[in-house]
Chain A
Amino acid sequence: MINMLEPINIAAINYENWGRLVKTWSTGRSYFDDGTVYPIPQTLEEMQEQLDAVQSGLRLPKRMQHLHVVKMAPDTMTLRLPPAELVEASERRLEKEDYTFPPFYDEAYQHQPAPLQTHEDRMKFHARRIGDYTIANCV
């Protein structure tokens, strides 16, 4: 049975390769020097193949049944709302645990951010992060 709240494993991801693949899909220009064409995928299977071929480390969870590609335009406000279940699941997690950043921040800046000590601090940060990635338009 598919668990709709199954989290995407973001810890294993190679963010650099994932980012290069997104840039490739976005611009139509390959960011991989391997002579391979990576077109915008039309199916989940095709997407997973490309994710594996570029070593993104990203595995699509089984709950994903459909692929919906949105190519944003500079003159269009695209409002991407995260699923309510996942927002609430992360809120529950933050009751007990600190916010975790992808490890590449630590590698780049050679320093872990200081822990957020209270639940209130974590919820405030959670809201800011959701606000950030919802309005950010790939800079």
Chain B
Amino acid sequence: MQAHGGAVRVCPFSGQGGAGPEQAQQPPANAAATPAGFRHFLGAPTPAQRFQVDGEDPRLSATALATLRRRLRGVAILMGNRDEEWPDNPDLPAGYTYTLQFLAHDLVQSSLPVWASHGGGAEVENLRPRALRLDTLYGSGPTGCPFPFAPDDPQDLSRSRFRMSRIGPFDPTTPAKDSDYRDIGRASTIGTSGGTDGFPEPLVADQRNDSHSLISQVTSLFQLLHNALVALQPEGNTATIGHRIRGHNLRFAVARDATTLIWRHLVRQDILPRILHPAVRELYAAGAAPLLETEAGPGIPLEFTHGAFRFGHAMARDSYHFGDADEPLPLGTTLRQSSGRSPDLMPIRRIWVAQWSRFFRLEGQQEPNLSKRIGPQMSGNFVTDGLFDPLAEGDPWGLAYRDLISAGLAGMHSVDSLCARVLHLQPGLAQHSPMLADRAARQQALIGWLGQRPRVSRLGAADIAALAVEPPLPFYVMFEAEREAEGRHLGVLGSLIVAETLHGAMARDPLPAESGGGDLAAQLDRLCAEWLGAFRFRPLPDIRDMAGLVGFLARHYRLEQVDPPFI
């Protein structure tokens, strides 16, 4: 089939059709376009500044694409064989791994993964127009996206609270306790479940928030927070139906804004400080304003979405202690606990219910599961059958390859280009990162790592040398974290991309209550003053970190002593 300019429009991952591995078919003509809703970090790269394969853009050259796939196969296999003795990260409890996933969902929602597209271009679009507004939780709200919300009255005239499911297994003979309603909403649709029992439909605005049992429970934390903030508000005038509907709508709106203020506070004060290199953290400590991208347009940088922020995948453990059971549960099985994959096991069953002191460091409680130190290594569980199967014949299994091939096809800045631009803009960072400052040292370190176990990776010397010159960005960010930060947080380049993107997104699109400045307490009071007269949230939900969120919810819902345990 011929398309624009005579190029043959085929999927780059289709079979080789008997051709040699380096003779794939031509990519589409529009492959080099920047997808809508995305942009580039520090401006669009010139062709020479883009990631290349032996001097060619893999989006525009079939030969380069085939070479890229073969090389990334080797890198992915090396990345997917993390040793069981890979150390834990004492600075990052395991709950942050999945809080970061939730954060990623609040920044970007691709219409199609780059790896599934014809190399990017017009098929891929970021459908998240606003960043860090908790659109991943609320969607377009109860009117445009009603199913995550429960009716406020029997006539379903308004919806102001999230609908929660009772943790499973469902047993109609056992009376439900209030504390049982901790799972996201889930539904069964008759005759569409492929013959399976259970609840195949998650009632969430963003289906990715039910991709496994930990992200769904992080999501439910924020749903519970919203519901608590609705409950804390005065009911107001209920004399007529009109008053009641307006009251519910107002309570929803205030709770949403308050939840979003708290979420942004957590991003700034808890999440970012934990993952950033101290030197970069210091740069953004004063004002939280973007330092480098003073004229950035709309959209999220590809170098963030398809590059730096993939580091969270390296933090996943092989197994987790969920509740009060003695034995940890494997990641491979954890990733199957969702309405999509295991409807017959939904709602979340007891053994999968998160005891949050296992995931965040709560004062006076047990030591939590810790995330793994960041490095170019991922849990072997990601190659479990049926989770991340090969995209095409000959491709490897696992998450690492998907990250790498998406990065390779996203048309991003090369690592060399990013290092050069960052050094130009922030020369003082060179003292904190030998690999940032010294290209030869960077390449030498990469050659050492990539050259390990050649009989496993099947990478030849020429492949290794080429990859050291043009490392895929997500791989390099993980490598940098391991080499220059002991895997305890990101390195300098990774930190700068993440900090600039997140701080910039919030600074360029402030919430109304943020515009007047002040701390979280002042902002929450300002929000209430604008909409609710003399009412103020008291006790003030002055939530400083994820552990504080868990503690607030435990107190509000009286979950300190429940079974299965909440904290």
Contacts and interface: CB of A to CB of B under 8 A. Distances in A.
A and B from one complex: yes
Interface of A: 9, 11-17, 33-34, 36, 49, 52-53, 55-57, 59, 97, 103-104, 106-107, 110-112
A33 B393 contact: yes
B201 interface: no
Nearest to A53: B456
B188 to A, nearest CB: 14
Interface stretch (B90-98, B189-197, B233-241, B550-558): B189-197
A34 B393 CA distance: 9
Given A103-B385, A104-B386, A110-B195, A49 B453 contact: yes
B542 interface: no
B117 interface: no
A49 B383 contact: no
Contacts of A33: 393-394
B232 interface: no
A104 B396 CA distance: 18
Contact of A52 (B81, B333, B386): B81
13 contacts: A9-B318, A11-B330, A11-B333, A12-B381, A12-B384, A17-B397, A49-B456, A53-B455, A55-B396, A59-B380, A97-B327, A106-B336, A107-B386
B197 A111 contact: yes
B77 A53 contact: yes
A51 to B, nearest CB: 9
Question: Ordered nearest first, which 3 A-B pairs have the shortest CB separation?
Answer: A11-B330, A107-B386, A12-B380
Given A12-B330, A12-B332, A103-B333, A36 B385 contact: no
Nearest to A97: B327
Contacts of A12: 318, 330-332, 379-381, 383-384
A14 B383 contact: yes
Contacts of A56: 383
B37 interface: no
Nearest to A56: B383
B194 A110 contact: yes
B397 A55 contact: yes
Nearest to A61: B84
Nearest to A102: B385
Interface string B174-212: 000000000000000000001111000000000000000
B80 interface: yes
Interface size class of B (residues with CB under 8 A): 35 or more
Contacts of B330: 9, 11-12
Interface centre among A15, A17, A55, A112 (most CB of B within 10 A): A55
Contacts of B331: 12
Given A11-B330, A57-B384, A111-B196, 5 more contacts: A11-B384, A12-B380, A53-B455, A103-B336, A107-B386
B453 A52 contact: yes
Interface string B315-334: 00011000000010011110
Contact of B398 (A55, A97, A112): A55
Nearest to A104: B385
Interface of B: 77, 80-81, 84, 194-197, 318-319, 327, 330-333, 336, 341-342, 344-345, 379-381, 383-386, 393-394, 396-398, 453, 455-456, 458
Contacts of A11: 319, 330, 332-333, 381, 384
B457 to A, nearest CB: 8
Nearest to B318: A12
B385 A52 contact: no
Given A49-B455, A53-B77, A59 B84 contact: yes
A56 B327 CA distance: 24
Interface centre among A11, A53, A59, A106 (most CB of B within 10 A): A11
Contacts of A36: 458
A103 B194 contact: no
B383 A55 contact: yes
A36 B195 CA distance: 41
Contacts of B81: 52
A49 B345 CA distance: 36
B22 to A, nearest CB: 13
A28 B340 CA distance: 39
A103 B384 contact: yes
Contacts of A17: 383, 397
B468 to A, nearest CB: 22
B166 to A, nearest CB: 19
Contact of B385 (A16, A34, A59, A110): A16
Interface centre among B195, B330, B398 (most CB of A within 10 A): B330
B460 to A, nearest CB: 13
A112 B327 contact: no
A57 B318 CA distance: 11
